[in-house]
Amino acid sequence: MADELQGKRIAILAATGVEQVELEQPRDAVESAGAQTEVVSIEEGEIQAMNHDIDKGDKIAVDRLVSEASPDDYDALILPGGTMNPDNLRQDEHAVRFVQDFFRAGKPVGVICHGPWTLVEADLVRGRTLTSYPSVRTDIRNAGGNVVDEEVVTDQGLVSSRSPDDLPAFCAKIVEEFAEGRHQVHDEGATARAS
């Protein structure tokens, strides 16, 4: 299991306001499985992580600006939550395009908590089944997505979870999906499988 993701490169797209545990635990999980990770952001230098959206956490080093990154350089993408993080990302055209290009390529994506706001902005939830933090669910439905209340949901390479409480299941599932690699490019109306 320690080499399940050997040779894979994973992008973690995050901005100031990212929920620290939702960045660190998935990063640790994929690195423990052998992957290399890079924090990609709309900001240079460091981003301020948060704990429970209100307490400042650690500063996290940024490896690459999203405006200079290409999904071609990565095998999968992690979108952590935190309320401010996806709100910052969805206002940046480079971040939105980066996420869209991952989906177009059929590469697996893991998203948790408030992270789906970026997917809504990128018009990537239409016809998909996913879960999220409760306050994001109406936005997903309004954007054509099907929302379920489960700890982890998988739909053609898109892995989603609700909150930090779901991190153990989320981390296990992203390692599994990232190991599978590319999926068929999403076909609207496809049936999701929940696990």
Burial of 84 (0-12, 13-18, 19+ CB in 10 A): middle
Residue 168: DSSP 8-state: H
| Cβ-Cβ contacts under 8 Å for 93 (sequence gap 6 or more) | none
The number of helix segments (H) and strand segments (E) in the chain equals: 6, 12
Residues 18-62: tens digit of each pLDDT? 999 999 999 999 999 999 999 999 999 999 999 999 999 999 999
Determine the pLDDT at residue 183.
Answer: 75
Average pLDDT on 112-117 reads: 98
pLDDT band at 106 (very low <50, low <70, confident <90, very high): very high
Candidates 52, 94, 113, 186; catalytic one: 113
DSSP single-letter state for residue 164: G
- Confidence at residue 187, expressed as pLDDT on a 0 to 100 scale: 47
Q: Which amino acid type is present at position 18? A: V
Q: Band of the pLDDT at 149, cuts 50, 70, 90?
A: very high
Is-catalytic flag, 114?
yes
Judge whether 113 counts as a catalytic residue: yes
Catalytic member of 52, 94, 114, 186:
114
Do residues 179 and 29 lie in contact, with contact meaning Cβ atoms separated by under 8 Å?
no
Nearest-CA neighbor of 111 among 27, 175, 188, 170?
170
Enter the pTM of the model: 0.93
